[in-house]
Amino acid sequence: MTVAITRTKAEQGLTQNFEAVAAKLPGNPAVAEARRAAIGAFAALGLPHRRLEAWKYTDLRSHLKEALPAAVADAPSSLTRAELDAALEELADVAADRMVFVDGVYDRGLSQAGVIAGVRLAPLAASLASPASEAELNGTIPGQEAVLALNTAFMTDGAVIDIAAGSTLASPLLLVFIRTGSGGKRLITTRNLVTIGEKARATVIEAHLNLPGAAAGHSNSLSQLTLGEGAQLAHLKCTIGGDGESHVASLLPVLAAGASYRAFQLTAATGLVRNNVGLTFAGEGGKADVSGCFLGRGSEHIDTTLVIDHAVAGCESRELFKGVLADRARGVFQGKVIVRPDAQHTDGKQMAQVLMLSETAEFDSKPELEINADDVVCGHGSTSAEIDPDLIFYCRSRGIAAAEARSLLIESFIGEAIDKVTDQALNPALMAMARRRLVGLGT
């Protein structure tokens, strides 16, 4: 018996919208063919929904009621540098080379990325159109999972970063993705291709944000990160979009032997966020430290889903996520550590902790260990709790006002995660951005 699959209005609309913009999307004929294959895969899969275990707590099919028009390169942006710096907040003061993407398109005028020894920086749109890059780009297109298929179909631009072996970047690379709301609500789709050569060292920051007052829309971003032997990458992602914004991000790091990957995510003030991390150890002796802080209020929904694949022996992984939830906000943490049969001497630990500031807030946690080797050290944990009234009383007995005591305790709670960022400029910037969004939280 054949069962007909009914597609929602949004699912049908996404396929129709692709046909409307396909001719305007960047890329050579091979990329165009890959796009069509991807939208075909999406048409078969549909949007992720709660019957899929990985999307049990974040039902995109129910959340996305309409298919927004896809953003493409149109008229030049009118965004000013002052508006950009204001939106970046403390990150604007961090000394960094910038690549700026406005409504999904590279803005050369707002970017500040000069010639850096040992580094190739290019906008993805130009690389997609280059026959010389065809094999490399086609080789990095992911499989058939629905949100990745949508990214392949609609991607407009992003950063191509290639750091030569042995190079060390003196300053971070700041990738800014800002929505201005020009043209109304839009689907913005971006992709970054980052390659860190053997024994190279770099810091890459992604800032996903909205211009104040910009119409909220949908975002689909993908960062593919390849680390060579002994390479070191610090990767920060700040998502501080506007009310009602839906942001789905995929981070796919692959670590060669002896590589080190340190990642941190700050997520706040966005309607729905799904940060999906799929990290693979491809060589022995790799180390990964993935941490984050999420702050939810109103009816915001913040989902962090990790899959750490210990495919080889002798690797170490650490995950620590801290959340603060108020009002009717919902937080989700799904962390899975896979230890393959030959991955002996694996050391993997993960922890998710949430502070609940409201009886109507919700936290769903599902830590998992899938261990297929016998000589390993692995563990996981998850906690959720209210502010301890005894600690409030202790602070007040020392002359600290109740509101200030509450703020100090919340800052101390999330500080453990933010302290994972050891850069002397980035750490205080992230704490200041988080502190601003803690004002009035849960009061």
Instruction: Please give the full DSSP string across 299-354, using - where no structure is assigned.
Output: T-EEEEEEEEEE-SSS-EEEEEEEEEE-TT-EEEEEEEEEE-TT-TT-EEEEEEEE
Which tokens in the block code for residue 388? 């301890």
CA-to-CA separations, 72 to 20, 69, 78, 182, in angstroms, rounded: 11, 9, 16, 12
- pLDDT tens for each residue of 210-239: 998 888 899 999 999 999 999 999 999 999
Instruction: Check residue 134 and give its pLDDT.
Output: 45
Q: Which of 169, 231, 162 is nearest to 200 (CA)?
A: 231
Ramachandran category for residue 149: left, alpha or beta (phi over 0 → left; psi -120 to 50 → alpha) = alpha
For the chain, what are the domain ranges? 9-386
Longest distance between any two alpha carbons in the chain, whole Å: 73
How many DSSP H helices and E strands does the chain contain? 10, 19
In this prediction, residues 115-143 reach a mean pLDDT of: 70
- pLDDT tens for each residue of 169-195: 989 999 999 999 887 899 999 999 999
DSSP code, position 183: T
Instruction: Check residue 3 and give its pLDDT.
Output: 47
141 confidence band (pLDDT: 50, 70, 90): very low
Going by C-beta distance under 8 Å and a sequence separation of 6 or more, which residues neighbour residue 151?
142, 189, 191, 220, 221, 222, 250
- pLDDT tens for each residue of 356-405: 999 999 999 999 999 999 899 999 999 999 998 899 888 889 898 888 88
Percent of the chain with pLDDT over 70: 95
Instruction: Check residue 322 and give its pLDDT.
Output: 97
132 confidence band (pLDDT: 50, 70, 90): low
Neighbour tally for 200: CB within 10 Å? 24
- The Cα–Cα gap between 113 and 100 comes to 10
Instruction: Check residue 376 and give its pLDDT.
Output: 93
CA-to-CA separations, 370 to 17, 129, 374, in angstroms, rounded: 40, 42, 12
- pLDDT tens for each residue of 335-352: 999 999 999 999 999 999
Task: With a cut of 80, say whether residue 76 has pLDDT above it.
Answer: no
- pLDDT tens for each residue of 300-322: 999 999 999 999 999 999 999 99
143 confidence band (pLDDT: 50, 70, 90): very low
- pLDDT tens for each residue of 247-269: 999 999 999 999 999 999 999 98
Instruction: Check residue 407 and give its pLDDT.
Output: 87
4 confidence band (pLDDT: 50, 70, 90): low
Task: With a cut of 90, say whether residue 326 has pLDDT above it.
Answer: yes
Which tokens in the block code for residue 395? 């602070």
- For CA atoms 99, 100, 106, 109, the dihedral sign is negative
**Residue 79 near residue 109 (C-beta atoms within 8 A):** no
Rounded to 5 degrees, φ, ψ at 409 are -70, -40
Instruction: Check residue 131 and give its pLDDT.
Output: 65
- pLDDT tens for each residue of 88-120: 999 999 999 999 999 999 999 999 877 788 899
Instruction: Check residue 144 and give its pLDDT.
Output: 46
- The Cα–Cα gap between 151 and 11 comes to 14
pLDDT higher at 368 or 242: 368
Q: List the end-to-end C-alpha distance of the chain, in Å, as a whole number.
A: 56
Q: Which of 277, 272, 309, 307 is nearest to 292 (CA)?
A: 277
442 confidence band (pLDDT: 50, 70, 90): low
Q: Which of 441, 436, 268, 293 is nearest to 361 (CA)?
A: 441
Instruction: Check residue 139 and give its pLDDT.
Output: 42
Task: With a cut of 50, say whether residue 140 has pLDDT above it.
Answer: no
- The Cα–Cα gap between 315 and 306 comes to 17
Beta strand extents in 149-297 (DSSP E only): 159-163, 173-179, 187-196, 201-210, 218-227, 232-240, 246-255, 260-268, 272-281, 287-296
- The Cα–Cα gap between 273 and 84 comes to 22
β-pairing, 159-163 with 119-123?
antiparallel
